[in-house]
Amino acid sequence: MTAPATPYRPLDIAAELIRCPSVTPEDAGALAVLERYLAPLGFACERMRFSDKDTPDIDNLYARLGSGRPHFCFAGHTDVVPVGEAAAWTVDPFAGEVRDGRLYGRGAADMKGSIASFVAAAQRIAAEGFQGSISLLITGDEEGPSINGTKKVLETLKARGETIDHCIVGEPTCVERLGDMIKVGRRGSINGWLTVTGCQGHVAYPHLADNPVPKLLEMLRRLEAHLLDEGTAHFQPSNLEITSVDVGNSATNVIPGSARAVLNIRFNDLHTGASLEKWMRDVCDAVAAETGARYTLKAVTSGEAFLTPPGAFSALIAAAAQKVTGVTPELSTSGGTSDARFIRAHAPVVEFGLPNQTMHKADENAGIDDITRLADIYEAVLRGYFAGQAEAAA
């Protein structure tokens, strides 16, 4: 198929995507916008819809150009977080308005702008030809439960024998300006719901009750006081944060029957979700043995820590960013989780995209110049990637 003669403008694509109010789990036409740009370039566009008990059905798009290797994949998401307080916005969140050199709207930074930049870069490469494959793995479930999205697409590809050689995720990774940070890994995350059960009673007759609050507080004190680690060469120290403590007690003269707490641990590659769950249970068991506390702990790991060791792939992206922006990127593992946590089991993966100062905020926006230059960076990455693979094969 002959590629369109008119160059794609990433700003136009980004604005069209923003005009699709694709708040998780709604697609709102966002994937159709991408298909309309990708199909004329020769991409085979495949919708993958997955469902799961008690979670929304999700549409995903897998679009691939070429069938050979090496296979370079761009991963991203078209779903966005809710608008929040509408009155806090000075623009229509889904109008894709341009003002003072910036594109405004929900998803401008996270991450419809990055997707648009990659599509524009892919057009330039497709027009000239290359040896290998380029794909886009776009989900509508990154900001939601992340159950029916990237993870299931990857499982489907693996089941039918498709291999991804390298992947870049277009998350907004830059801090102060475009090009200043590349994510080569992420810390893991585990949530814990801790409940201590006692016996409700009157505060004037404590011997007839069993107050769960002091026992819960002692468990939390020991968990919070423990130094998990001091960090590693690539990761900051792991940290445990208590995010909620509640007894649901509106009375001042009643000893509650139960007390609950919620906590989260962001951890580096010195730990796993399983090892941290065991540690939490050991601490709680010790308190229970000393105090007679009865407790339950539910622990859910939403992502394990991972690192793509700095090497040729991250160096390629760093060189492309520096060439376009003049900025030397920092290789970092800071921040929250992303779908890279699923991709890491299938291919080396790094994250690089727009500045992240306005993501998830009212009046979310991205600089038009940044969107344009990001397309130039992605183009340089693709050219360097396929040229390097060709040289290695020679």
Q: Which two tokens stand for residue 267?
A: 């951890």
Q: What are the angstrom distances between the C-alpha of 317 and each of 127, 186, 209, 382?
A: 22, 17, 63, 9
Q: Which of 235, 389, 255 is nearest to 306 (CA)?
A: 235
Q: What confidence score (pLDDT) does residue 3 get?
A: 60
Q: What does DSSP assign to residue 25?
A: T
Residues 6 or more apart whose Cβ sits within 8 Å of residue 304:
188, 272, 273, 341
Count other C-beta atoms under 10 Å from residue 214's C-beta: 13
Q: Which of 320, 70, 288 is nearest to 182 (CA)?
A: 320
Instruction: Read off the pLDDT of each residue in 296-317 and give the average, rounded to a whole number.
Output: 96
In contact, 199 and 189? CB cutoff 8 Å: no
List active site positions.
Answer: 79, 142
pLDDT of 117-159, one tens digit each?
999 999 999 988 899 999 999 999 999 999 999 999 999 999 9
Domain chopping of the chain, boundaries:
10-186+305-393, 188-303
Instruction: Read off the pLDDT of each residue in 367-393 and give the average, rounded to a whole number.
Output: 88
Instruction: Report the alpha-carbon distance of residue 227 to residue 236 in Å, rounded.
Output: 13
Instruction: Report the alpha-carbon distance of residue 45 to residue 10 in Å, rounded.
Output: 19
Q: What confidence score (pLDDT) does residue 391 get?
A: 52
What value does the mean pLDDT of the chain take? Answer: 96
The H-or-E segment that residue 264 falls in is strand 258-267
DSSP 284-336: HHHHHHHH--EEEEEEEEEE--EE--SSHHHHHHHHHHHHHHS--PEEE--S-
Instruction: Read off the pLDDT of each residue in 306-332 and give the average, rounded to a whole number.
Output: 97
Which CATH code for domain 10-186+305-393?
3.40.630.10
The strand ranges marked E within 115-233 are 133-139, 166-169, 181-183, 185-186, 188-197, 201-202
4 pLDDT band (50/70/90 cuts)?
confident
pTM to 2 decimal places = 0.89
Q: Which CATH number fits domain 188-303: 3.90.1150.10, 3.10.580.10, 3.40.50.720, 3.30.70.360?
A: 3.30.70.360
333 pLDDT band (50/70/90 cuts)?
very high
